[in-house]
Amino acid sequence: MKILVAVLALVALVGEAAGQPPPSLRGRTIAIDPGHNGGNARHAARIARLVDAGTHRKACDTVGARTAAGYPEHAHNLDVALRLAVLLRRAGARVVLTRGTNTGWGPCITRRAAIGNRVRADAAVSIHADGGPAGGRGFHVIHPARIRGLTDDIAAPSYRLALALRRAYRTGTGMPYATYTARAGLSSRSDLGGLNLSDVPKVFLEAGNMRNETDARLLSSSGFRQREANAIARALASYLRAQG
Ligand SMILES: [Zn+2]
């Protein structure tokens, strides 16, 4: 019996060390949206097409940022998304991704939102890394502003999701709050179609600043990206647990 207890404790410890959330997400559906796409630059006309972003018309998608050394944001975003999907599925969740490869273009922001809506996701997270001023560091979480008839149904739960993500990301990765934008790591926006068109609680993570040397080194490291995924998984688990 003592041996069994010791083995179980060891298994729990190993799971903890690997950063796995507890298997608490059974019955939950989570939409993960890795921002941009590796083929966007080759399909400039397609991604420049204007679509309805709720409050205004906006490009279908954009190319995204890159580090000074040439590591592209779209690769970062997909890598973190795939790592996150593994963790969430292991915890019992149903996971839907807006894209699973980095070779195509889009999808348009309208479709990215529609994918989370169609599966009635319990939560949706869009993964990005910013292209800010080289002198500025840090991450921020963007949540939808309350817009009557558009986001008034998701603004409050999205804000709670943003708080959970800010806390888990800060403690899980050590990345500081953005020094050049947002306020204490949080920003409310009304210009993002991916948020405006969402009918499910949704936030954007700007995981760091790709144009800053320190952040770029972190975002380019696979070990750091695993920590990002672990932190996002913990945030989702904590948010969903609180929702009941
Ligand atoms: Zn982006």
Cα of 176 from ligand 1 centre, angstroms:
18
What are 219-238's pLDDT values in tens digits?
A: 999 999 999 999 999 999 99
What are 110-153's pLDDT values in tens digits?
A: 999 999 999 999 999 999 999 999 999 999 999 999 999 999 99
Q: What is the pLDDT of residue 24?
A: 86
Residues with CB under 5 A from ligand 1 (ion): 35, 64, 128
Cα of 126 from ligand 1 centre, angstroms:
9
Residues 32, 115: contact at Cβ < 8 Å?
no
What are 99-109's pLDDT values in tens digits?
A: 999 999 999 99
Number of folded domains that form the chain: 1
* Range of the structural domain that residue 42 is part of: 27-243
Least Cα distance to 192 among 109, 116, 132 occurs for 109
Among 16, 73, 206, 213, the one annotated catalytic: 206
| Position 4 confidence tier, pLDDT thresholds 50, 70, 90 | low
pLDDT value at 21 more than 50? no
Cα of 150 from ligand 1 centre, angstroms:
22
In a domain, 22, yes or no: no
pLDDT value at 186 more than 60? yes
Q: What is the CATH number of the domain that holds 61?
A: 3.40.630.40
In a domain, 235, yes or no: yes
Told to judge if 206 belongs to the known catalytic residues of this protein, a careful annotator would answer yes
In a domain, 44, yes or no: yes
In a domain, 18, yes or no: no
| Position 244 confidence tier, pLDDT thresholds 50, 70, 90 | confident
Q: What are phi and psi of 127, to 5 degrees?
A: -105, 125
